[in-house]
Amino acid sequence: MGKKKEKPIDLENLTPEEELKLEIAAEIGVYDKVLSGGWRVLSAKESGRIGGLLSRRKRNMQNEDKAKEHASVDG
């Protein structure tokens, strides 16, 4: 199996999910590490922390969207 090439992080063309991941990386103190070496330089613990927080935020955003939807239907 060949090595998977890590493409550099393009800060100009980020998807919303990538923006959120970088925001979380900054919050847990690994932003500079990610920018200098990519996502592959993170430990399993750091990656798991980012993944867990990302999942929680996505779930919260979906719940907020549903609450707004219900409020507009009820109102």
Look up the pTM and report it.
0.79
**6 exposed, middle or buried (CB, 10 Å; 0-12, 13-18, 19+)?**
exposed
Alpha helices (runs of H) in the chain, residue ranges in sequence order: 16-28, 31-37, 44-74
Q: What is the pLDDT of residue 3?
A: 57
Domain ranges of the chain: 16-74
Convert the pLDDT of each residue in 26-69 to its tens digit: 999 999 999 999 999 999 999 999 999 999 999 999 999 888 88
CA dist list (Å): 44 to 12, 23, 55, 61: 27, 18, 16, 25
